């Protein structure tokens, strides 16, 4: 059996994989020409978040693709999806290793907004002793749209700040950890009306594309603070900009955008009530270590015919 790795993993991580699977020939290939030579007899492939369909087609023995990202929306593009399903290739995501850093990122942005830390820092640079009105999180309501592993970690931390948590998910089936009240997608507007802080943590699928539009912003509180750490395409960016400009919502923190990198010409840069981070909410020093451990666990499960964590359901798109 053969494993082809097409992402730039350090040698210590490659050794972890080789030690876990001594019977598997493990090859790292970063050069496209070398990838094409090595893919033909590969059973397993570790790939990045951008799928290479032409490379996949050359993998005549390919059985499993492990992506190095939680989101698999690019793999769900029609031509790629049709190919994966026709060939019976299993796709596995890295869902589950991002919860801690993303939740910390969200709470950091919210605390910064609530306590006006950025404003105080700006005053500090000008040597001004400027007392301003600040708020607290205790007693506020956070609406989390998408209650998967990331949404639950955000809710866990919100509860630690004594916030009420409201979750929105596709179907309401039983309780969700750290969520006080739960609504289904058809009840989205009912949930949004209650939110002091609204966090979008949805996967990008055909169902969730443009999930938050002008209609949804219209029902939010004028004091609401909106956070998107999901995918840019989940939100109608034009409607968001309009809501921010017109004071329909108080502010926003955005880590993801419809086009990345965000163009210097984007009007989002001009808005005083927006915090922008460059799609780094999931980044942390141990990312590759956690990812390698999860990959090793999943490949063992596959080889031993056990349940695979994060096996993508092609019918759902994640």
To 10 degrees, the CA torsion angle through 47, 48, 54, 58? -10
Task: Name the burial class of residue 258, with classes exposed (0-12), middle (13-18) and buried (19+) by CB atoms within 10 angstroms of its CB.
Answer: middle
Q: What is the pLDDT of residue 19?
A: 98
Q: For the residues 263-268, what does the mean pLDDT come to?
A: 98
Q: What is the pLDDT of residue 97?
A: 95
Reading the block at residue 107, the tokens are 């709470």
C-alpha distances in Å from residue 206, one per residue of 188, 198, 209, 210, 241: 17, 22, 5, 9, 23
Which domains are delineated in the chain?
Answer: 2-96+285-303 (3.40.50.720), 99-276 (3.40.50.720)
Q: What is the pLDDT of residue 140?
A: 98
Q: How sure is the predictor about 30, in pLDDT bands with cuts at 50, 70 and 90?
A: very high
Q: What is the pLDDT of residue 308?
A: 97
Q: For the residues 238-256, what does the mean pLDDT come to?
A: 98
Q: What is the pLDDT of residue 113?
A: 98
Q: For the residues 264-269, what does the mean pLDDT come to?
A: 98
Q: What is the pLDDT of residue 271?
A: 98
Q: Are 75 and 84 in contact (CB under 8 A)?
A: yes
Spatial separation of the C-alpha atoms in residues 208 and 102, rounded to whole Å: 20
In the chain the beta strands, taken as DSSP E runs, fall at: 2-5, 25-28, 44-47, 64-67, 90-92, 141-145, 164-169, 181-184, 197-200, 225-228, 251-254, 274-276
Q: For the residues 281-303, what does the mean pLDDT come to?
A: 97
Q: How sure is the predictor about 280, in pLDDT bands with cuts at 50, 70 and 90?
A: very high
Reading the block at residue 138, the tokens are 């205790």
Q: Are 308 and 298 in contact (CB under 8 A)?
A: yes
Q: What is the pLDDT of residue 74?
A: 96
pTM: 0.93
Q: What is the pLDDT of residue 317?
A: 94
To 10 degrees, the CA torsion angle through 15, 17, 22, 24? -120
Report the SS3 class of residue 274: strand
Model pLDDT for residues 54-110, shown as the tens digit of each residue: 999 999 999 999 999 999 999 999 999 999 999 999 999 999 999 999 999 999 999
How would you list the strands of the sheet with 44-47, edge to edge?
25-28, 2-5, 44-47, 64-67, 90-92
Q: What is the pLDDT of residue 41?
A: 98
Model pLDDT for residues 135-152, shown as the tens digit of each residue: 999 999 999 999 999 999
**What average pLDDT is seen over the chain?**
97
SS (H, E, C) 85-147: HHHCCEEECCCCCCHHHHHHHHHHHHHHHHHCHHHHHHHHHCCCCCCCCCCCCCCCEEEEECC
Alpha helices (H) along 237-316: 237-245, 287-303
What is the set of active-site residues? Answer: 231, 260, 279
Q: For the residues 165-184, what does the mean pLDDT come to?
A: 96
Spatial separation of the C-alpha atoms in residues 136 and 274, rounded to whole Å: 19
């Amino acid at each position: 059996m053969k494993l082809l790795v097409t992402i730039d993993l350090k040698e210590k991580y490659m050794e972890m994989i080789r030690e876990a699977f001594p019977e598997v020939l493990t090859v790292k290939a970063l050069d496209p020409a070398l990838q094409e030579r090595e893919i033909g007899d590969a059973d397993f492939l570790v790939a990045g978040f951008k799928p290479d369909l032409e490379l996949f087609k050359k993998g005549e023995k390919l059985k499993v693709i492990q992506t190095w990202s939680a989101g698999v929306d690019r793999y769900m593009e029609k031509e790629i999806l049709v190919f994966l399903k026709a060939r019976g290739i299993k796709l596995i995501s890295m869902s589950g290793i991002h919860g801690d850093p993303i939740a910390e990122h969200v709470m950091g942005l919210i605390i910064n907004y609530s306590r006006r830390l950025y404003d105080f820092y700006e005053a500090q640079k000008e040597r001004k002793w400027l007392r301003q009105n600040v708020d607290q999180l205790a007693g506020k309501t956070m609406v989390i749209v998408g209650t998967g592993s990331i949404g639950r970690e955000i809710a866990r931390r919100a509860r630690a700040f004594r916030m009420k948590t409201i979750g929105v998910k596709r179907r309401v089936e039983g309780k969700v950890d750290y969520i006080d009240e739960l609504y289904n997608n058809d009840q989205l507007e009912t949930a949004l009306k209650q939110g002091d802080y609204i966090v979008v943590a949805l996967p990008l699928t055909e169902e969730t594309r443009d999930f938050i539009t002008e209609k949804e912003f219209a029902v939010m509180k004028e004091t609401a603070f909106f956070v998107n750490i999901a995918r840019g395409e989940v939100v109608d960016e034009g409607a968001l900009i309009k809501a921010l400009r017109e004071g329909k919502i108080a502010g926003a923190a955005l880590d993801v955008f419809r086009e990345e990198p965000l163009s210097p010409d984007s009007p989002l840069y001009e808005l005083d009530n927006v915090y922008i981070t460059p799609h780094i909410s999931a980044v942390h020093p141990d990312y590759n270590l956690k990812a390698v451990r999860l990959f090793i666990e999943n490949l063992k499960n596959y080889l031993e015919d056990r349940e695979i964590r994060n096996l993508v359901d092609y019918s759902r798109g994640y």
